[in-house]
Structure 1
Amino acid sequence: MTVQASSGNGNSSAGNTSMTLHIPVQFAVNVIIKGMDSSTQYVNFSEKATAAQVIKHSYKVANLAGKALPLNVTFLFPVESGPNFVWLVDSVNSSEKDLVNCSWMLADKTALRNRKQYCSNVGCKVCHCHISSLNKLSAIYFDFSGPAEFRGDLKAKALSFKEEIIKVDYYSSAFISYNTRLYVQIGSIKQEDGSYSEFHNARIKTEAEFMKHPNMVAMITLSCCGGILLFFIFAVIMYKLGCFKSKYKEMMVGEKEGSTEEGERTSEPLCDKEEKKEEKEE
């Protein structure tokens, strides 16, 4: 808006006679991004099943009301999560390929500035997607997939006697942005990450588990050795208490002593017997 003042006197050209003011005009929009329930929620691995498994994360970007607008969407995928869990995201598919252009890059935490908390210490794989125009009441879907696995030596210890489970929560993150000078989110409130709506970012979690089985060979071997050792200990204790002494031997000794006494009585001389008889008669 420009305002210009003029008068009929001859000195009208002196000083500022015009002023221009600019009033910014913004279009109200209502765009959101969210994770889909069709994403992979859980995967499990074990020492007997270490092969990589395919994980999928799906996001939806929608324009719920207002004017059509161009958008930028940034997806972050940690290179590594937890103890040696890696997801090799290698592909992205969008439902509107004619409207979407995506590119990949590898970034460390320092390059991500206020979003470095969404990445691991190793860094993130970043996918930048530009939507040329997202029409009113329309949506575009993004599907990311790739093999995931546990790396490194995760075998159970040689003397492990119980089952052990390693749990990892893997998160991918997504953020949308647009020209905030030209468009304004309906009911917008500025968030900590600089966006103007809690619906301008989303995360998807996949739970991964690695199961370590106990060493059954060592468990059986030690159990047998322990059983044999206890058997010998009880045997020694019972022997000390006399539980293994034979009564048959004592019976044989007793019978032998009895037969000896009877033999001595029968072997007395005949004269001695007669003398004892006469003494009894007297």
Structure 2
Amino acid sequence: MRQRSLDDPLDDFAARSITLDGETRTVYVSGEGPAVIIMAEMPGISPDVARFSRWVRDAGFAVYLPSLFGRDGAYPSADEGRAVVKRACVSAEFRAFGGNVSSPVTRWLRSLAGLAHAERGGPGVGALGMCFTGNFALTMMLESSVLAPVLCQPSLPLDDQGALEISAPELAAVRERLDREDLVVRAYRFDTDRFCTAQRFAAYKESLGERFEARVLPGTAANPAPPPFFEKFVDSPHSVVTAHLIDADGEPTVQARDEILEFFTDKLTEEDQPSRANR
């Protein structure tokens, strides 16, 4: 297992420069099969985020991992990670504070989902966000190709645990689509998380009803020795499938990871699926 002091070269991913809607971003792509968009938590595409992406890839999916902030592949120092968070909080691309509004970057991410579906085929695309990007997977449901949204510890807006980071019209459109197409939204958090609390999940449940499937893990199941940024600035169990995952058989975080992989498999593959386009 990779030591938590070492950066990840991401050399088993193809670093693609993708321009959509007039904006160009680096997207790390690896694997074959239906596409899954994985959006990193703060402070960026860490080795733990890359590890989870490889698990998704090895389960039979093409992973699209966009670079949204931070140093790609790095375990930053605690202070470097804090600086990344501060820059993102004042960036025009994100809405870290104040509910009932979506981050502008989600428009680009929806276009990425459409591109990934065109490239990989299959029934549709999966989308998983974490922490700062957690709710982005919900907003991406406005793109018709997204069939399997997973929200891991969605933490925005930072200033109101009872609010959601999506506009009311968009939320209504997502709920209508979930009902019409018989889809669900999966979400994960630790029960002692200070950044994604029970109040946040209650707001999702009120808005999405039975279409919102919550999974809450005990805080005692979190890895007690996360990387430096989390150890210093995230003073509670938080990152279910990355920094606070314990990679050992029988651990609740590993069980959550496996459940997510099964969710993608169930929603994005078909037994008699024809050859997928443009592999």
Q: Tell me the TM-score range normalised by the shorter chain.
A: under 0.3
More helix by share: 2
Q: TM-score scaled to structure 2, two decimals?
A: 0.23
Q: Give the greater-gyration-radius structure (CA).
A: 1
Q: TM-score scaled to structure 1, two decimals?
A: 0.22
More strand by share: 1
